[in-house]
Amino acid sequence: MDLPVMPPVKPMLAKPAPSIPDRKLYEPKWDGFRSIVFRDGDDVEIGSRNERPMTRYFPEVVEAVTANFPPRAVIDGEIVVADRERNRLDFEALQQRVHPAASRVRLLAEQTPASFVAFDLLALGSEDLTGRPFAERRARLEEALAGAAPPVYVTPITADTGTAKRWFDRFEGAGLDGLIAKDPEGTYQPDKRVLTKVKHERTADCVVAGYRVHKSGPDAVGSLLLGLHDERGVLVSVGVVGAFAMARRRELMAELQPLVTDFDDHPWAWAKQLEGERTPRKSETSRWNAGKDLSFVPLRPERVVEVRYDYMEGNRFRHTTQFVRWRPDRDPASCGYDQLERPVNFDLAEVLAGRA
């Protein structure tokens, strides 16, 4: 592709903040694949945050870019997939779109089509806009995509903190996970954390049901496996907590040994097949870390830990949780989904259409 300018490949990043800052421009924080899209005539390339080419996985996005973008442009945005029945974002379905087989890619493009939500214009025609203030780039983006049709959208934006707070509270019900605050005068700074992200933060008391060994060796805990009881009283695997100092990882290994049990006496007996296997099967490895063994050491579900999380994806924590404290006062049987705050449903179509 012979673009007239060479805009940055790596996107501008955000650093977390505990509250919504004043005097910024605010956008919803989309839960998808961050992508910078390059179009030069019939040539379209989709780059990801880690510079991994994404073009082949989203043929329907390529078609939409050709139909809706200006002839020569570079636009920063997010690829998302919507759950059509629940009318909310579906990150799990988006992850499944990254598949090595071309036939599978074509099938998923029909079954779970993706959309592109634009939020910054980096180049237009022969003009590099990365040195211009964000407020100007945003205005130019709206002009450039004024006639765009689904599945290409321009993200909503507001300068009003009251509106931003309402978005923060309501949009989670559509699968979004917070706000992004931008300096109206800020230039585009690739790979720099100059934006601000505000995400939901909650705590939950979870049962510790097992651990994985740290990559450094067998004397340290890598992560603790967390469980919550559903309405039937069944302990469900909901995620992990793993950010510990190395000294604490070794202490945990010693502390947890009295709780080690056999899979036959564990609520997750289904994991027995992983025990002792040197090479996990494809279904037992991480989608993003090929070959990573997800087997674990089972523990009697007797210890309770309080963790911090942002939100749920289905019945699991969307991201790795953060350790808060041990809860020796809690009965493991009382750790259920009923303690979790559930966001009120909100219509994703209203957000995409900018009518919220």
CB 68 within 8 A of CB 147: yes
Q: Which phi and psi angles does 193 have, rounded to 5°?
A: -90, 75
Give 270's contacts (C-beta < 8 A, 6+ positions apart): none
Instruction: State both tokens at 58.
Output: 């989203």
User: Nearest 5 degrees, angle CA 100-CA 60-CA 176?
Assistant: 90
Which residue shows structure tokens 């953060």? 322
Show the tokens assigned to 168: 């923060």
Question: Of the listed 29, 182, 199, 282, which one is catalytic?
Answer: 29
The verdict on whether 29 is a catalytic residue reads: yes
Are the CB atoms for 299 and 259 separated by under 8 Å?
yes
End-to-end CA distance of the chain: 38
Positions marked catalytic: 29
